[in-house]
Amino acid sequence: MLEIAIIVAGVIIGCGIALISGGLVGIGEGYAAGKAVEAMARQPEMEGSIRTTMLLGQAVSESGAIYSLAVTLLLIFTVVLPLVDRLLELL
């Protein structure tokens, strides 16, 4: 029973660490948005293409956070929840 509890704790801590990438991606995307605003202020007539390029760059750089989110969700739904169920049965 203690082993299962340790596994669950370890996996949950790992999920938390994986989600740090969300904050880092937030920094990067905010930087991209700020630069896009600068460019729009300088050249307001290019607004449409600047917005498209900004969204595209942000979407691509978001991939890291998306992968970590996917890993976290998979870990929680395939590893943690069954183990927690077994833990509750043992209790």
Binding site for other proteins (CB under 8 A): 52, 55-56, 59, 62-63, 66-67, 69-70, 73, 77
Q: How far is CA 14 from the centre of its chain?
A: 13
Determine how many CB atoms are found less than 10 A away from the CB of residue 50: 19
- Shortest Å, Cβ 3 to other proteins: 26
> Judged by CB, which is closer to other proteins: 31, or 77?
77
Q: Cβ distance 80 to 4 under 8 Å?
A: no
> Judged by CB, which is closer to other proteins: 31, or 67?
67
Length of the chain: 91
- Shortest Å, Cβ 7 to other proteins: 21
